[in-house]
Amino acid sequence: MMKHGRWSFAALATILMLLSACGSHLYHYVRKGETLYSISFEYGQDYRDVASWNGIRQPYTVHPTQRLRVYPLPPGMLPPSLPPITSRPSKETRPPVRTFPLEPPQSARRDTAPQQRPEISQTGGSLAWVWPADGKVLSTYSERGNSRKGLDIGGNRGTPVRAASSGQVVYSGDGLARYGNMIIIKHNDSFLSAYAHNWKLLVQEGQEVRAGQTIAEMGDSGTEEVMLHFEIRLNGKPVDPLRYLPGRS
């Protein structure tokens, strides 16, 4: 009798889990300022997978109120039939997206010493990588837990933040609350890099940038101290940036 009861409980738990997965946990409702890349980044998915699950073709344009599936369906399950979305969900859970000037105002600029030419690494396919900022490394990547998926680099407000490799800006905004003012750069089909907690964003979505180009100024948006949180993602998954960045002299 006990054995039968245990199996019944396990079966019920499995059914409840699958039913839950078929609901809102499987979908994301696009908000103003979000891009397919930022949504995929938030859920730890490859943007190409999210595009495929939702029938979205290049240039991967999404629109506010659009419903996107952000997780694969369990094996053997068909997509659930949901009513069409006619309006945005009533609650906004993220702050509104602000716009930032391409160049900081004259009053905000600082007299800084010339920056040393960043060292270049050729690892990571054909990409050349440089350090995204000067400063002490406060925290390194760890595969344990969810809070250390990149590097935290300390500095002062206004410290230049550089593109770690050449590519195209695919997100520039503050729609991901835990990351503050963030930039995501697409380097090729497989590699993205992200730059979080900035004070000012100096580039716009769609803009081409080169390795070592200043793209932002370091700040403390979304965190309690001034720092740059830097991530490299390969096929949507975080990888250790120290595997790709050159050694520091």
Q: Do the domain assignments include residue 112?
A: no
Same domain, residue pair 127 and 60: no
Same domain, residue pair 129 and 51: no
Which domain covers residue 206, as residue numbers?
Answer: 118-243
Q: Do the domain assignments include residue 103?
A: no
The answer on pLDDT for 82 being more than 60 is no
Same domain, residue pair 153 and 226: yes
Arithmetic mean of pLDDT, 206-224: 97
The answer on pLDDT for 91 being more than 70 is no
DSSP annotation of 43 reads T
What are the residues whose beta carbons fall under 8 Å from the beta carbon of 161, sequence distance 6 or more?
Answer: 132, 133, 183, 195, 198, 214, 215, 216, 217, 218, 228
Q: Do the domain assignments include residue 182?
A: yes
Q: Do the domain assignments include residue 222?
A: yes
> Rounded to an integer, what distance in angstroms lies between the CA atom of residue 234 and that of residue 239?
7
pLDDT of res. 162: 98
pTM over cut 0.75: no
DSSP annotation of 243 reads G
> Rounded to an integer, what distance in angstroms lies between the CA atom of residue 102 and that of residue 115?
20
Q: Write the CATH number for 22.
A: 3.10.350.10
Domain count, the chain: 2
Token couple for 224: 């309690």
SS3 for 48? helix
Q: Write the CATH number for 198.
A: 2.70.70.10
Q: Do the domain assignments include residue 83?
A: no
Q: Do the domain assignments include residue 102?
A: no
Arithmetic mean of pLDDT, 187-206: 97
Same domain, residue pair 138 and 203: yes
Same domain, residue pair 163 and 222: yes
Same domain, residue pair 60 and 135: no
Which of 170, 174, 190 shows the shortest CA–CA distance to 182?
174
Same domain, residue pair 234 and 125: yes
**Contact of 167 with 130, CB cutoff 8 Å:** no
Cis bond upstream, residue 114 (ω within 30): no
Last residue of a domain, one of 69, 84, 105: 69
pLDDT of res. 93: 43
What are the residues whose beta carbons fall under 8 Å from the beta carbon of 57, sequence distance 6 or more?
Answer: 51
pLDDT tens-digit readout, 135-192: 999 999 998 766 789 999 999 999 999 999 999 999 999 998 889 999 999 999 999 9
Q: Do the domain assignments include residue 230?
A: yes
pLDDT tens-digit readout, 99-131: 333 333 333 333 333 344 344 444 455 799 999
CA–CA distance from 69 to each of 56, 82, 100, 216 (Å)? 11, 12, 30, 31
Q: Higher-confidence residue: 37 or 248?
A: 37
pLDDT tens-digit readout, 17-68: 444 444 457 899 999 999 999 999 999 999 999 999 999 999 999 999 999 9
